[in-house]
Structures are given as C-alpha cells and as structure tokens.
Structure 1
Amino acid sequence: MGLPMVGRLVSDGHDVHALARNDETRSAVESAGAHPVSDIAGIGEGADIVAVCVFTDAQVRQVCLEDGVLARMPRGSVLVVHTTISPRSIETLTAEAEPFGISVVDAAVSGGPHDIAAGALTLFVGGPDDAVAAVTPVLKSYGDPVIHVGESGSGQRVKLVNNALFAAEIGLMAEAAELGRRLGLDEKALFEALPHASSSCKVMGNIAMRGSVAEFRSAVGEFLSKDVAVVRATVAELGADLGVLDIAIDARR
C-alpha cells in the first residue's frame, strides 16, 4: 500500500521522504522519485505531514511513540494514520501529540494498491476541521473520495463498521454458495450470474472475479481477520457485541 502512495505523491509534485530499512526498499523508494530515510525517528523531521501506513495497532504505537517519530515532528505538522486501529489508540496519539503542537488525523482506507495507483482509494477521515482541511489536498493524490466523517477516531469507527459488514457479507455469500450447491448449481457459474441481479453487492463481484468464496476469503483473510478482531474488542469495551453480524461473519468458516 505504501509504495504506490509514494508514487502518487511524487507525481503530484510533493517532496516525499519514506522509511527504507533495507537495500530493496531503498531502491524502490528512489525509483519512485522519493528520498529514502534509514532512521525511523528522523522520518518526521521538517515534515508538514507524516503518514503512517503499517499493519497493526501495536506497530502504529511503536512507530509513533516508542520509535520517536511523533516527538521529532515539527510544531504545526499533522500525523495521518492510515492503518485500521482502535479508536482508543487515536485518542492516545492525540493526547501525546497535543503538547508538541501536532494534530492527529485518522484516515482509514478502503481499497487496495490498484485503487491507490488509480487515485481512487476511499478514505474515511476523522479529525479537527483545520487539520483535515490542511491534509486533504495531499490525501487527494491517491484518495477519491476523501470523506470527513467527524472528530478524531471517527474515521476508524466508520472503517470498523465497514469491515464488520464486509466480513458478514462474505459469510452470507458462503451461505448462498451452499444453497446453490444444494440446488445443484456450480459455484463459479452462480457468482458469474448473481452480480447482474438484484442481490448484487461489491463483495459478490469480487468473489465472482476470484471464482469462489474460499478463494476470496484466502486473499483477504489476513487483514480482514485483524480488523474484525479490532472491531470485536472495541465493541466489547462498550459491553456489547456485533449481534447478527457476528453470526454472518462466522458462517461456513
């Protein structure tokens, strides 16, 4: 996800510095027209915006807090978090950033590298109006639409709802495939036909391209399982659960 973001930012004329921990990454960053940085703590020095696009909640905390990125960003700059994490972590980052005069914007993403390359990544953005306004022109290098959904943490909350529903839809498609088998239908043929009907949804179209629910689950399973765990933990903190979404998520697993 990060490398095509770098490429889009460079093509839009931005001065981009990207972390490169090894020779392969350094070469890729240089080929994209950006400046490789080997010291993670120095990645934010002199930056107007620092964008974090790693995999887990723990990695975001490590990069921003333990590795010192936040502490070395200049006053008035903005930290943008693309990783899907707990809204509580955004609250923690915001509290840590405030003494440094740094704003935190959560900009959770929906889409993949192909969407970034096309400048069509969906971004759910949470944060103060002024900070969001400052980063939006940069985010539009690879994001369209860029949707400001509320205060800090709101982008993560929208993304968690999205991915809970996304996972539930995959479960429903698994049940539909089983119904098709009982009716004597080939799964591939079923999902080639259904995207043209009233039951169509984006998940169904993706399954049709892969040929089966199992193939699509295999392709998205790692990141989706992580995000479902985050939304379940977040809702559990409120003393609740996902209700019928939980039943659908676990269907035919």
Structure 2
Amino acid sequence: MTRIGFVGAGRMGAPMVRRLVEAGHQVTALGRTAEKCQAVRDLGAHAVTDLTAVGAGADVVIVCVFTDDQVRQVCTSSDLVSAMPPGALLVIHTTGSPRTAQTVAAGNPAVDVVDAPVSGGPHNIAAGTLTLFVGGSDDAVARAQPVLASYGDPILHVGPLGAGQGVKLVNNALFAAQIGLLREAVALGERFGVDEKNLLTSLTHGSGASRVGEFIAMRGSAAAFVDDTAEFIGKDVEVVREIAAELGGQLGILDDVINTGIRQ
C-alpha cells in the first residue's frame, strides 16, 4: 500500500482518486471547503484542508490542478513539497512549461519529481486507459509506474524531467491544428454541396482519417466540438505559444492552422 497525497480532485482528479483507492492505495486529498471535503470522502479518500497535511507522510504526491500558474502556487509558494518526506515522489499531471517541473525539482533536491501530463478524459481514467507522457529519471519513473498504472495505460517514459511536457505541448499543437484543418475541410465540403455530418462520418473511413476527426464526427459538427472544448484547447494553445516564445521560436504554419481551428 502506497501513501498518496492528492491535490486537484476535480473533473480529472476525482476519477484518479477513485481508481487509486480501488487499487488499494491510502489516499489523502485536499478539500478547501466542507463540500469538497465530503466529495473527497465520497471517493473513499481521507480529506484534509491544507497542503501541508497532503504532503506530510506521503510516499507520492500527485498534483492535478488546471493551470501551470496553479502548479507553481501549490509547489513553490506553499509548504506542500517541504512537508513531503525525503525521498518522496512528486507527480505533476497539469499541462504546462517543462521549466516548472524543473524549477520545483531544483528547489527541492530531497524530493524526486516527474512530469506526467495526460491525454484523454474522465472516461479514460475510469477505464484505466489514460495516456501519460512521463518525463523524469529512470528510477523516479519506475517508482511512479505502479501508482500511475491505477489509471494510466499506456505510460510512456519519453525522456528526462520536462520531456513529458514537451511531448504533450507538441501533441496539443497538433490537436488544435487538426481541428483547424477539419474546419477548412467542412467549408470545402459545403462548397461541394456535401452535408457536414455526412462528410465527417465518411472521412473517418478514408485516408484523411484522424483521431481528432473521429471525435468531431461523433459530435456531428466541427464548430460544436470547438464550443465544447474551447476552454481546454485555448489554455493549452496559449501554453504552447508561451513556451515556444520563451525558447526563441514560433509555431510557424501550425499557428496559422490553429487560429482557424479555435476561432468561435
């Protein structure tokens, strides 16, 4: 049994907590309010109201908050990491800058850090089939594997600390760009007199098929899919642009297509 601290038991985090509990781990999760504490208890976990209590005594702490800024607040501007025992493991699921995980690790050498951004949704977590792009040392990733396997498959070790975020950012740029391509394809189909829903369904069987195309076909409309996912896509695209700029580059043609995809 692994003692796990968890921060971010929301849309994505809640089913992770449930799967961790069902796998036999002892989970302590943050709940800022009485209502959220009860939600944590309903998942089978122990609820606490401060970050120090999340980290104290934990073998592994998992952070699954919404933004990179929130990761920095939790991991560098609180006592969470300093409360963790020496040799404990910190897992960051939030999509963000590779430098965030690296900065946390540099400031806390007694704790091992892995970045493990995810691809998939709550239904994948519930099924144990969430894709994880993991960056970190061989030893740290090997230690994280049994815990992450509670809800992750495949678990892809893609390189050193920060590499997981790099892969996820590229993935998200391609995801947004493919939405843009499909919106242009729908517009072309309209000029040819082809119904959007019929076009999207047909493309899933052709050489132009893609996973994004399958998602949009299930929704029945490219614009409706963007409406459903704009909050998440927009956040991730801004992170990609920001990190690319920090590294002295741009997204090039990808950005032109992305702008087509995420417009509303």
Deviations 1:222-253 (A, max 9, x none): 11111111111111122211111111101262
Is 2:171 aligned against 1:162?
Answer: yes
After TM superposition, the score normalised by the length of structure 2 is 0.93
Equivalent positions of 1:1-253 (< 5 A) are: 1-98=12-109, 101-251=110-260, 253=263
- SS of the equivalent of 1:125 reads strand
Moved more, 29-38 or 143-152: 29-38
- SS of the equivalent of 1:191 reads helix
Identity of aligned residues (%): 58
Moved more, 89-98 or 173-182: 89-98
Deviations 1:25-74 (A, max 9, x none): 22221121110111122211000000000011110011112121011111
Distance, in Å, in 1 between the alignment partners of 2:173 and 2:94 is 16
Moved more, 62-71 or 140-149: 62-71
Distance, in Å, in 2 between the alignment partners of 1:129 and 1:239 is 29
Deviation at 1:142, TM superposition (A): 0.3
Partners of 1:65 and 1:71 within 8 A in 2: no
Distance, in Å, in 2 between the alignment partners of 1:201 and 1:141 is 28
Distance, in Å, in 2 between the alignment partners of 1:80 and 1:124 is 12
Distance, in Å, in 2 between the alignment partners of 1:66 and 1:238 is 25
After TM superposition, the score normalised by the length of structure 1 is 0.97
Distance, in Å, in 1 between the alignment partners of 2:226 and 2:108 is 37
Partners of 1:45 and 1:74 within 8 A in 2: yes
Code of the residue aligned with 2:88 in structure 1: it is S
Deviation at 1:105, TM superposition (A): 0.3
Distance, in Å, in 2 between the alignment partners of 1:128 and 1:221 is 34
What 5-or-longer segments of structure 2 have no aligned partner? 1-11
What 5-or-longer segments of structure 1 have no aligned partner? none
Runs of 4+ displaced beyond 6 Å: none
Deviation at 1:24, TM superposition (A): 2.4
Deviation at 1:8, TM superposition (A): 0.4
Code of the residue aligned with 2:107 in structure 1: it is E
